[in-house]
């Protein structure tokens, strides 16, 4: 079993792209598991 905390983002605008996602991805113990957005082209 992984000790990582799985995190999801709801909405993937400017702040998520430039701050939240990189911060989560670069933090030991956190795993960016899923991103949800009403604009599917942003998350593919």
Rounded to whole angstroms, the Cα distance separating 39 from 8 reads: 16
* Residue 9, beta-bridge partner list: 35
Domain residue spans of the chain: 5-38
Spatial CA neighbour of 9 closest among 29, 26, 34, 31: 34
Q: What is the pLDDT of residue 1?
A: 56
pLDDT at 38: 92
Tell me how many degrees the CA angle 7-32-42 measures, rounded to the nearest 5.
Answer: 110
Q: What percent of the chain has pLDDT over 90?
A: 82
- The DSSP letter of residue 21 is H
- 28 phi/psi in degrees, rounded to 5: -60, 135
Per-residue pLDDT tens digits for 9-28: 999 999 999 999 999 999 99
pTM: 0.77
pLDDT: is 39 or 6 the higher one? 6
């Amino acid at each position: 079993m992984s000790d990582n905390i799985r995190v999801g983002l709801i909405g993937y605008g400017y702040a998520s792209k430039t701050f939240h996602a990189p911060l989560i991805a670069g933090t030991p113990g956190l795993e960016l598991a899923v991103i949800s957005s009403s604009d599917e082209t942003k998350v593919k």
